[in-house]
Chains A and B, each alone.
Chain A
Amino acid sequence: DAGVIQSPRHEVTEMGQEVTLRCKPISGHDYLFWYRQTMMRGLELLIYFNNNVPIDDSGMPEDRFSAKMPNASFSTLKIQPSEPRDSAVYFCASSLTREQYFGPGTRLTVT
């Protein structure tokens, strides 16, 4: 199995631009999670889906963030407009049970 796939691996953008991060979970996993990691705050859960349905989005910092999961093999996290404080590593993870498997992450830099 290829594991969780994320793209792009690195993204540099200017403040105000729209950013879209992509994730392909492990086949057969019915849970998908988006996390953000910064030095100051560590790893934080943003949102998670079960069977493509958003279950808990209480970690989404504000309305500039949105996430979708149109099918079992694809999810996006969008930031519009982006701000410098959004700079972080964004991880996608998937699971079948409580053991979550993480993707390699997208390192986002907003200048």
Chain B
Amino acid sequence: EDKVVQSPLSLVVHEGDTVTLNCSYEVTNFRSLLWYKQEKKAPTFLFMLTSSGIEKKSGRLSSILDKKELFSILNITATQTGDSAVYLCAVSSGGGADGLTFGKGTHLIIQP
């Protein structure tokens, strides 16, 4: 059975801090790893990673994948209160746009 584990489960930091969220996985036929941000509504897509060592970047957010060690990290620099959310990691295995296996998420709270 595919498994995705995120850590920490929750994190409280102050505005301006840098945070690192972790995601490890055990899946058969790994295809890609995806990060989503969920506020009080639907998850919204952040990144999709398929290759090791290539950093994806979007503004203050960045992510990298290590397929040898089976993990990914999501970094957020200069955090803002609007970054407060649950960050979900998911993996895709098998062919095509198949269903995702999600981790439980990291609940990030940014205090002003």
Contact = CB atoms under 8 A, between A and B. Distances in A.
Interface of A: 4, 31, 33, 42-45, 48, 50, 55-56, 59, 91, 95-105
Contacts of A97: 97
Given A4-B42, A56-B98, 13 more contacts: A44-B102, A45-B101, A48-B99, A50-B97, A96-B97, A98-B32, A98-B34, A98-B48, A98-B92, A101-B45, A102-B42, A104-B41, A105-B41
B97 A95 contact: yes
Main secondary structure of the interface of B (DSSP, over half): strand
Interface in B65-82: none
Interface residues of B, number: 22
Interface in B94-110: 96-105
B103 A55 contact: no
Given A31-B97, A56-B98, A100-B97, A42 B103 contact: yes
Contact of B34 (A59, A99, A104): A99
| Most chain A beta carbons < 10 A, residue from B31, B34, B98, B101 | B98
A54 to B, nearest CB: 11
Contacts of B90: 43
Given A42-B104, A45-B101, A102 B96 contact: no
A43 B97 contact: no
Contacts of A91: 42-43
A37 to B, nearest CB: 9
A95 B92 CA distance: 13
Nearest to A92: B42
Contact of A100 (B41, B96, B100): B100
B105 A42 contact: yes
A2 to B, nearest CB: 13
Contact of B99 (A33, A104, A105): A33
